[in-house]
Amino acid sequence: MRPPKIAGKSLSFRALRCLQISTVFFFTIFVQEWLRYPRAGWTGFAVMMIYAGFDNGTTMLRAYHRFLGVLFGLLVGYILWFIGHLDYRTLITILPMTVFFAYFLAARKYSIPTVFTVCASVIGSGYFNLDPTSTVTYYIFDYIMCTLIAFGIILMFEYCWFRHYGMMRRFIIDTQVEVVQDLYRLVHLLNQEKIKRTDWFEGSLKLTRSLHEVTVLIENSHFMVRSERAVGDEFTEFVELANRIFIGLKALYMAYYTPRFHKLDYYQLLQQVQADILHLKKFVVFNKQILENKLGVMNALPS
C-alpha cells in the first residue's frame, strides 16, 4: 500500500507513524466513552505506555511484554496482599521493595518493571482504597479487562491495517540513512585541520544512538509478520559494516594525537573507511530519491 500524501508529497515514516498512533488513541478514547466499563481510562494508559516504543516492531514487543507483565504482576500482587492480611506489619517491607524494584529494573525488559508496578497498585488498592464496595478481586478483574481491550485494539490496527504500509521497511530506510549521515559527519571532522573534541564527542554519541536503534530494531523484528523481508542478511551486513567503519573512524581519531597522523598507514586506513562508506551507501541507494532528500550535500565523499 502506498503512503498517503499531503500537498502532493509522500509522508515520511515518522509523520505516517504519528498519524497511525493518533488514530489508535482516538479509537481507544471512543471505545472508552462508548462502552464506559469500570476504570476505562486504564485502557488509554496501557495503549500510551505500549506505543512509547514508536516503531511497530517495538510496539508489538512492548504489547507482548506488558500483557505478560500485567498477568504475572496481578498474581504476585494478590499473593502479597493475602500475606499482608496475615500480618499487616509485613507491608512495611513489601511496599518499599515493590516500588524499589519497579524503578531499579526499569531498564530491563518491559515485562519486568511492569510486574512490580502492577503488584504495587494491587497492594495499594487493597489497603488504601476508601471505597468499601471496591475489592481487590474487582480491581484485578478490571485491570485484566482493560489490558485485554488495549491489547486487542493494538493487534487489530497493527496486523489488520498498519502492516500493509510496510512500516518496518520504511523505518529501516530512515535508520540506514541516519547512520550514513552520522558516519559522513565524523569523516568530515577528520578532514579538518583541527578537530574539536566536543564536535567529535557529539558526533560519536549520535552515531552510537543510531547504531543502538539498529540493534533494537533487529531484536524486535521477530514480533512482526513477515519481518524477514525487511530484516534479513542484507540488513545484518549493513550493521556489521557500519560498526566496522565506526571502529576505523575511532582509530583515525586516536591517530590525530599521535605521530602516526598523516602517515602512510593513516591514509591507508582512511581510504579503507571511505571505500566501506561507499559500499555502505549501496544498501540505501536503491531508493535514490529518499537518499538524496535525506543526505543532501553529504552525498559527496569528503576527500
Burial of 297 (0-12, 13-18, 19+ CB in 10 A): exposed
pLDDT at position 225 = 46
Q: Is it the case that residue 223 has pLDDT exceeding 60? A: no
Rounded CA gap, 240 and 227, in Å?
Answer: 19
Above 90 in pLDDT, residue 27?
Answer: yes
Residue 55: how many CB atoms within 10 A of its CB? 25
DSSP string, 78-137: HHHHHHHHH-GGGHHHHHHHHHHHHHHTTTS-THHHHHHHHHHHHHHHHHH---TT--HH
The three-point CA angle 297-298-301 to 5° equals: 120
- Averaged pLDDT for residues 215-231: 58
At 275-291, the pLDDT tens digits run 888 888 777 754 444 44
Ordered alpha helix ranges (H), the chain: 13-35, 41-50, 56-86, 91-104, 111-128, 136-160, 167-190, 197-220, 233-255, 264-281, 288-295
Asked if 1 contacts 164 with a C-beta cutoff of 8 angstroms, the reply is yes
Give the residues across from 6 on adjacent strands: 9
CA 178 to chain centre: 15
Closest CA to 76 of 30, 136, 128, 27: 136
Give residue 297's pLDDT. 38
Per-residue pLDDT at 287: 46
pLDDT above 70 covers a percentage of the chain that reads: 77
- Per-residue pLDDT band for 149 (boundaries 50, 70, 90) equals very high
The more confidently predicted of residues 278 and 227 is 278
All cell numbers assigned to 300: 559527496
R_g (Cα) of the chain, nearest Å: 25
260 Cβ contact partners less than 8 Å away, ≥ 6 residues apart? 266
Whether residue 146 contacts residue 77, with contact meaning beta carbons closer than 8 Å, is answered with no
Q: How far apart are CA 143 and CA 73, in angstroms?
A: 11
pLDDT tens-digit series, residues 92-118: 888 888 888 877 876 666 677 888 888
Q: What 3-state class would DSSP assign to 6?
A: strand
Residues in a beta bridge with 9: 6
